Amino acid sequence: MEGNLRVLRAGTPAARQAVARLRERLSALEWLDNAAYRARVRKLFGAVLPPEQVVARIIAAVRARGDRALLDLARRIDGVRLTRRRLRVSDAERRTGYRRTPRELRAALEKAAERVLEHQTRLLPVDVPLRASRRGPPGVKAGLAWSPLRRVGVYVPGGTAAYPSSVLMNVIPAQVAGVREIAVATPCGRGGELSDGVLCACEILKVRELYRVGGAQAIAALAFGTESIPAVEKIVGPGNLFVMLAKRAVFGHVDVDMLAGPSEVLVLADGTARAEWIAADLLGQAEHDPLASCVLVTDSAPLARAVQRELGRQLASLPRAEIAGAALRDWGVALVTRDLEEAVALANTLAPEHLEVHARNPGRLAKELTCAGALFLGPYAVESLGDYVAGPSHTLPTGGTARAFSGVSVHTFLRRTSLLCADAAGLAALSGVTEALARAEGLEAHRRAVAFRARSYR
């Protein structure tokens, strides 16, 4: 068994097609060819709709009917029967979940929380004090002030697995930034139950606002508010395709961190790398989701074939082998390049969420790798460390959006406000330039606002 990983020579038509498909991985068109998806959507909405339209209908329902829509969608989509009172998790439930959590896991969450807190605190920016330009005049000063958002929503994914680490990675940066109100939304089980690990993480961080709601409807509730869930100013956190599309749809009504959808990893390796370790790292992403992307880019064909064989061996004993196998089959590929220069170019083209570098000199290559959510340099900087305990947040841009977006950090929850201070002499000194520019743009009121003051000074 070879773990379903295709090995392709970079630059061939098959490889170019694979790269193009990876770049359009979350295209809705492929979902319309999925029989299970078509049947489910037809049953829910009476017609076969692409994911964007499914999300649009869910958002419209929540905006129109609030809590009633949340309860109805939970029943119809997830088979969960809730009441309005149970949407919000009680303090007693959260504390009970904390007590039920095994001591080893509690200790691990507390240790991880300490490291994330320390790292995010180091990242806090400082205000730029008012200062005059070296070019003068001394009476005009500019600066910058940072201030936290007032209220944010954190989405914690659920479904096929529970992610208490996502609570830490998104809530702690917000707390360090000074956000006063943090609302966490997460899917629940059919009986309304939540993961003890998620409850424990919320208790450790003293999160008091936790809701049993998942999917696109959770994003809609956080963005627009319902009777039970006050609206937020920004939504952060990873999720599935529908969560990602919902975040994209509500952007502008609220801010969002990025488009963080199904997970992905790209391992860039030379012939010195260990196939066993690379296979384990590819499976570490594949077990998340059938849509997870797992890519090896290497200048060593023997390494690619060894990884292919090793994937089959490890997959056979993996508890989530069905999910991981589907991800490898549909979104796994090994691309063999002429040299490392071509490998770096391919990595930048794909702009992955996680980019591991298994090579002789990872630091040198890192300077050339400019498009990734996070870089993991050297074979011991395993991506799992970043997921849980290293310190930086594991909420990162996916789907190639790392070309322009960055991962969650304390900066995600801060606003920048520019500061300007001027005295009469300073305004007068710059009035000629200002009036000339206003006149050129045809904005006479702008010009007069300066002229009146300058005339008064003179």
User: Using CA atoms, how far apart are residues 289 and 165, in angstroms rounded to an integer?
Assistant: 17
User: Using CA atoms, how far apart are residues 426 and 139, in angstroms rounded to an integer?
Assistant: 4
* Cα 293 to chain centroid, rounded: 15
Report the 10 Å Cβ neighbour count for 312. 16
The closest of 413, 415, 396 to 405, measured between CA atoms, is 396
Alpha-carbon dihedral 81, 86, 91, 94, rounded to 10 degrees: 20
Q: Are 231 and 219 in contact (CB under 8 A)?
A: no
Q: Is 354 a catalytic residue?
A: yes
* Cα 360 to chain centroid, rounded: 30
Q: Is 353 a catalytic residue?
A: yes
Residue 139's φ and ψ, nearest 5 degrees, are -85, 0
Alpha-carbon dihedral 77, 81, 86, 87, rounded to 10 degrees: 10
244-282 burial: b if 16+ Cβ within 10 Å, else e: bbbbebbeeebbbbbbbbbbbbbbbbbeebebebbbbbb
Got the DSSP string for 47-93?
A: S---HHHHHHHHHHHHHHHTHHHHHHHHHHHH-----HHHHBPPHHH
- Amino acid found at 60: A
Catalytic residue among 119, 288, 354, 394: 354
Q: Is 152 exposed, middle or buried (0-12, 13-18, 19+ CB in 10 A)?
A: buried
**Using the 8-state DSSP alphabet, how is residue 251 labeled?**
B
Got the DSSP string for 178-199?
A: T-SEEEEEE---TTS---HHHH
User: Using CA atoms, how far apart are residues 203 and 165, in angstroms rounded to an integer?
Assistant: 13
Residue with tokens 């290497």: 298
SS3 320: coil
Q: Both tokens of residue 145?
A: 């002030």
The closest of 377, 218, 373, 358 to 293, measured between CA atoms, is 373
Report the 10 Å Cβ neighbour count for 77. 17
Parallel/antiparallel/unpaired status of strands 181-186 and 151-155: parallel
Catalytic residue among 264, 353, 356, 383: 353
User: Using CA atoms, how far apart are residues 391 and 384, in angstroms rounded to an integer?
Assistant: 12
Q: Catalytic site residues?
A: 353-354
